[in-house]
Amino acid sequence: MEDVDYQHLSTLLWREQELLDLLLFKAEEKQYLILTGKTRWLARIAHEIEVVLDQLRTLEVERAAATEAIAVRLGLGANPSLRQLAEKAPTPWNDLFAKHHEALLVLVTDLRSLSDANRELIDGGLAAIGDVLQSTRTPSAGTYTAAGRNAGNAHRAVTLDGAL
């Protein structure tokens, strides 16, 4: 029965890595859409990302239960980290759990970096749109010269997609 629990947890960890890898792919797709100005697909990719996040949340609950069952058997406290579990697990599970831990850390680090980069791109795009909107406002009365020309900023042709 013991090996079954370890195998079950390992299977859950593999599934978590697959979902995190898919999430990384979706984040890269989002970055591509932002960089190329294909904003019409951003809502769809946001939905796809949310679906993956929901799957990860469900998996996390199952993984926590499987981890807790093994932790009790190994004499670990409540809610142990994967690293703590790997240190106490018997061979070959200790090595396998340590490798899962390393792989998950890499994926999470990559996701954080890409998420931060995407957030900066979106913030930069929103700021650029604000600048464009500010520069294209209709001047108020009294801002024309005696010759009837605009005394303020001249209107410019602006492509909003280029601002993104």
DSSP assignment letter at 92: T
pLDDT at 88: 96
Q: What is the maximal distance between C-alpha atoms in the chain?
A: 92
pLDDT in tens, the chain (164 residues): 578 899 999 999 999 999 999 999 999 999 999 899 998 999 999 999 999 999 999 999 999 999 999 999 999 988 999 999 999 999 999 999 999 999 999 999 999 999 998 888 887 766 655 665 566 665 555 555 656 555 554 444 444 444 43
> What distances in angstroms separate CA 134 from CA 6, 17, 37, 152, one per listed residue?
60, 45, 20, 13
- Please provide residue 75's backbone torsions phi and psi, each rounded to the nearest 5 degrees: 80, 25
Distance CA 158, CA 164 (A): 12
Closest CA to 82 of 67, 61, 65: 67
pLDDT at 2: 73
Measured at the CA of 23, the angle between CA 108 and CA 129, to 5 degrees, comes to 100
Q: Which two tokens stand for residue 114?
A: 């890409």
pLDDT at 121: 82
Q: Which two tokens stand for residue 158?
A: 């602006």
Tokens 């199952």 locate to: 62
Please, are residues 115 and 27 in contact by the beta-carbon 8 Å criterion? yes
Q: Which two tokens stand for residue 122?
A: 């979106």
Closest CA to 4 of 56, 69, 62, 74: 69
